[in-house]
Structure 1
């Protein structure tokens, strides 16, 4: 399940100079920030690894214990909601001060986006960005007919592997020749398309299982098939 911190920082990249200026201190191989909020009743401890992975603790300063209700979905009282909202505002403040925004959560998705811009002069649009669940869904369209030739989505791994895994991954949907489907589905990280025709579209996980070069060729094919 995505944590509060992962949700806020999913489409952000840390800038070290900004982190240090904001008050992060080096700790081992990563960086740590401590901030009080809600008039000092709570303390947030945010840790960022060298690779940008974020973890957070919220501590009740009266008891010095972790405020575990923060992460319990069934904890919905007015007080816990106040703490959640204040913590979320603090994380957004940190993100604005210490990060730069990127279009997608995964590095591979952002690299492929740059390739598509260079090759086809196409940038993604985000038609569902007002809905939190779909705001990271980027569509790449032909300028002439507005048809999609690629769609990058952030989905639960479980929708691909059918194993209940709640981890979120970026995938790209691309059009293929139907006769190529069976062979492509045998490749690691390549699946029948999520939410699209399984015979004519594939979903490719953007976690570097497949190389940029391989996916770029499939993007080229999809572009030609949808012209």
Structure 2
């Protein structure tokens, strides 16, 4: 079960001044918010790291214990659904009050998007924006021939590692020379391309495993390989 926090904040960028105005306080480098909801029957303790990673706890005000049923897929009764709905509404209000929208879930994906705009004057388009599953997939195209030279997708880690890990991750598909393929796929963070030709494309995980500069080199190569 994907955490509710991930679904609400996946494409949001936190704004410190708005967080502090909302009621967050800073403890070391982490921002903390404690806020009651559902008529005070519960409270959330929300933590946000400097990189924007969000973790949340929902505490039962009567017992002072964490309300674990919120995270259990098998818990589907009317009461737990009411708590989930109220919690999601609270998180949505926090997101609306404290965040701005970004194109992609990961900070690295958004940095690379800006770098592509700066270098190639290309913004992503979203060919499947009306699809619930693929609406976040962003394609970067040559303005002349409309060919893709990069594609950012939000997938589960399992599609790369085949290990059952369903946590979401942004990945970048870029074109390569087949002669480079074997060596590149030995690099941590690089995989055979998801949903594309394994000989001529690779997938790069955008979780800071590879530096922006290295990924930028791969994007430049892909751009050159797709000019005609």
Asked whether the two chains share a fold, i.e. TM above 0.5, the reply is yes
Q: Deviation above 6 Å: which 4+ runs of structure 1? A: none
1:41 aligns with 2:23: no
RMSD: 2.0
1:202 aligns with 2:202: yes
- Alignment match, 2:118: 118
- Alignment match, 1:32: 32
Identify which range, 1-10 or 185-194, moves more after superposition.
1-10
Q: From the superposition, tell whether residues 191 and 16 of structure 1 become closer, same or farther in structure 2 (CA, over 3 Å).
A: same
Residue 54 of structure 1 deviates from its aligned partner by 1.4
Residue 130 of structure 1 deviates from its aligned partner by 4.3
How many residues are treated as equivalent by the alignment? 227
Query: Which string of whole-angstrom CA distances, capped at 9 and with x for unpartnered residues, describes residues 138-184 of structure 1?
Result: 11122233322111112222222223333332210011222221121
SS across alignment from 1:17: helix
Structure 1 unmatched ranges of 5 or more: none
Q: From the superposition, tell whether residues 29 and 213 of structure 1 become closer, same or farther in structure 2 (CA, over 3 Å).
A: closer
- Alignment match, 1:158: 158
Structure 2 unmatched ranges of 5 or more: none
Q: From the superposition, tell whether residues 222 and 50 of structure 1 become closer, same or farther in structure 2 (CA, over 3 Å).
A: closer
Q: Which residues of 2 match residues 40-59 of structure 1 at below 5 A?
A: 40-59=40-59
Report the TM-score, using the length of structure 2 for normalisation: 0.90
Query: Which string of whole-angstrom CA distances, capped at 9 and with x for unpartnered residues, describes residues 78-111 of structure 1?
Result: 2222221211111011011111222222222112
